[in-house]
């Protein structure tokens, strides 16, 4: 475990935007059958997901969320020195989508911006990148945005994936503070298991593969341009490596589950979350859940589950966060957030074609 502590920088706002129309998983009965869908819901806890409209990109949700924060916090955008957009569904191959967001938000030419490419662990790696950069800069604020429209690389015939992922975007405002804060991160990366969750084609290796979807050995029809997950490998990773990291992190910090108000965990799958809770002896009421309404929302998951369950409550809460996914890549974070700075989820069909 690699630990990193950052002082006097905090999350000063969280906003989340998702599509307008929910899709009930019961609408998949025609494709996967009532029994197949029901068993999927029982295992994952997912009943509805929200899907972006055809003209909406991941950045559209992040922009809406960022505008909300800028307005609510009434900050001078000239004080924002960094914008990081964590995504695997960029608007363009070049440049980073962060530049389009920079333009949409009217940020200053002194505000550095770039996309950070990670999946479900991305929020915490992006948060650490922003916090460490802000600490070394003369600026007051940084923005960490996340966004994904996972459906764009999913086979509609892949039951294990197409009903799992929802779309959306988030914005977190990071600010310097005079308060004596400590945010502690722990990180792990294991590229030896890079094939466990992979979208093999569409970038610059594995070029020229056929676009047509065919039946694979597991009986599911997909192409190499679709995201594929090795279920058992990912399950074992989620219920062994992930709790092990959280446990090690708590031991390092000399904390226990009682030390935290909430555990904001990547919303991978309800059964996995229950296993993690059981292994770490975390009371289930300390683990907020958003899977039922929003599914697995990739890098959006952690801000989304906080906003969905805890927006605006009158409390300063201590969190243990944990994100985990493709790479394989996983991270945890001990952080305190004033919940009055967490805003309710916005539903939007806005899109920014410019």
Partner 1 sequence: MGSFSFTDISVSAIACAVPDTVVSVDSYNQKFDRKIIERYRDEFGINVKRVSSVLQTASDLACEAAALVIGRKDIEKEEIGAVVFLTKTQDYRSPATAAVIQHRLNLPTDIIAYDIIIGGSGFGYGIQTVCSVLSSIPKRYALLLIGDTNSKQVSPMCEYSIAAGDAASCILLEKSEKVDNISVRSFSDSLYISDIIHKKGAFRYDPVISESEIGNQKACINDLIVNPDSVSKYASGFVADHLKDFIDGKNFNYLAIQQESNAISENLSKKLDLDKSKVISNIGKYGNVSGASIPLLICDILSGLKGEISIITCSFGEGFSSSFTHFSVNAGDLFPVIETNSYFQYGEVSHKF
Q: Footprint of partner 1 on residues 242-271 (CB under 8 A)?
A: none
Residue closer to partner 1 (CB basis): 23 or 104: 104
Question: Taking the complex as a whole, how short is the minimal distance between the CB of residue 224 and partner 1, in angstroms?
Answer: 5
Tokens of 105: 């938000």
Question: Could you say which of 28, 99, 165, 343 contacts partner 1 (CB under 8 A)?
Answer: 99
Is there binding between residue 109 and partner 1 (CB under 8 A)? yes
Question: Taking the complex as a whole, how short is the minimal distance between the CB of residue 88 and partner 1, in angstroms?
Answer: 5
CA distance 97 to 275: 36
CA distance 186 to 249: 7
Question: Could you say which of 64, 82, 265, 345 contacts partner 1 (CB under 8 A)?
Answer: 82
Is there binding between residue 8 and partner 1 (CB under 8 A)? no
Is there binding between residue 76 and partner 1 (CB under 8 A)? no
Tokens of 281: 């002896």
x/- mask, partner 1, residues 276-315, rule CB under 8 A, reads ----------------------------------------
Is there binding between residue 2 and partner 1 (CB under 8 A)? yes
Question: Taking the complex as a whole, how short is the minimal distance between the CB of residue 59 and partner 1, in angstroms?
Answer: 8
Residue closer to partner 1 (CB basis): 197 or 282: 197
Cα separations in angstroms, 354 against 53, 67, 91, 101 = 17, 16, 11, 10
CA distance 8 to 260: 20
Q: Footprint of partner 1 on residues 191-230 (CB under 8 A)?
A: 191-192, 194-195, 197-209, 214, 216-217, 222, 224, 227-228, 230
Is there binding between residue 62 and partner 1 (CB under 8 A)? no
Count residues contacting partner 1 (CB under 8 A)?
88
Q: Measuring CA to CA, which residue among 41, 330, 300 is closest to residue 186?
A: 330
Per the listing, tokens 């809406």 go with 64
Q: Footprint of partner 1 on residues 37-56 (CB under 8 A)?
A: 54-56
String of b and e for 88-101 (b: at least 16 CB within 10 Å)?
A: bbbbeeeebbbbbb
316-325 and 262-265 as β-strands: parallel, antiparallel, unpaired? parallel
Tokens of 217: 């050995």
Residue closer to partner 1 (CB basis): 97 or 290: 97
Is there binding between residue 180 and partner 1 (CB under 8 A)? no
Tokens of 341: 């700075």
Is there binding between residue 235 and partner 1 (CB under 8 A)? no
Residue closer to partner 1 (CB basis): 153 or 341: 153
Is there binding between residue 111 and partner 1 (CB under 8 A)? yes
Residue closer to partner 1 (CB basis): 37 or 239: 239
CA distance 1 to 244: 10
Question: Taking the complex as a whole, how short is the minimal distance between the CB of residue 265 and partner 1, in angstroms?
Answer: 20
CA distance 280 to 241: 12
Tokens of 47: 């009943």
Entry field: residues in the chain: 354
Q: Footprint of partner 1 on residues 135-174 (CB under 8 A)?
A: 135-139, 149, 152-153
Is there binding between residue 115 and partner 1 (CB under 8 A)? yes
Question: Using the 8-state DSSP alphabet, how is residue 238 labeled?
Answer: I
Is there binding between residue 190 and partner 1 (CB under 8 A)? yes
String of b and e for 61-87 (b: at least 16 CB within 10 Å)?
A: bbbbbbbbbbeeeebeeeebbbbbbbb
Residue closer to partner 1 (CB basis): 68 or 102: 102
């Amino acid at each position: 475990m690699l630990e990193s502590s950052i002082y006097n920088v905090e999350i000063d706002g969280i906003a989340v935007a998702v599509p307008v129309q929910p899709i009930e998983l019961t609408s998949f009965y025609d494709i996967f059958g009532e029994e197949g869908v029901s068993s999927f819901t029982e295992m994952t806890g997912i009943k509805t997901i929200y899907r972006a409209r055809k003209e909406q990109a991941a950045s559209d949700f992040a922009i809406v969320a960022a505008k909300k924060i800028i307005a609510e916090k009434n900050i001078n955008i000239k004080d924002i020195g960094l914008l990081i957009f964590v995504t695997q569904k960029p608007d363009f191959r070049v440049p980073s989508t962060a530049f389009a967001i920079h333009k949409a938000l009217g940020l200053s030419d002194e505000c550095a911006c770039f996309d950070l490419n990670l999946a479900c662990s991305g929020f915490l790696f992006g948060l650490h990148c922003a916090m460490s950069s802000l600490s070394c800069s003369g600026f007051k604020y940084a923005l960490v945005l996340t966004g994904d429209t996972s459906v764009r690389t999913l086979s509609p015939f892949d039951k294990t994936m197409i009903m799992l992922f929802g779309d959306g975007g988030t914005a977190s405002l990071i600010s310097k503070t005079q308060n004596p804060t400590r945010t502690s991160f722990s990180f792990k990366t294991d590229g030896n298991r890079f094939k466990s969750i992979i979208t093999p084609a569409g970038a610059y290796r594995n070029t020229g593969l056929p676009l047509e979807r065919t039946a694979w050995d597991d009986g599911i029809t997909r192409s190499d341009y679709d995201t594929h997950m090795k279920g058992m490998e990912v399950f074992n990773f989620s219920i062994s490596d992930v709790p092990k990291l959280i446990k090690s992190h708590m031991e390092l910090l000399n904390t226990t589950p009682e030390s935290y108000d909430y555990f904001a965990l990547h919303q991978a799958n309800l059964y996995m979350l229950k296993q993690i809770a059981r292994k770490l002896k975390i009371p289930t009421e300390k683990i907020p859940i958003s899977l039922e309404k929003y599914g697995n929302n990739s890098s959006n998951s952690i801000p989304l589950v906080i906003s969905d369950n805890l927006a605006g409550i009158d409390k300063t809460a201590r969190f243990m966060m944990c994100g985990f996914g493709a790479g394989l890549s996983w991270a945890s974070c001990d952080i305190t957030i004033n919940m009055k700075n967490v805003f309710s989820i916005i539903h939007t069909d806005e899109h920014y074609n410019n």
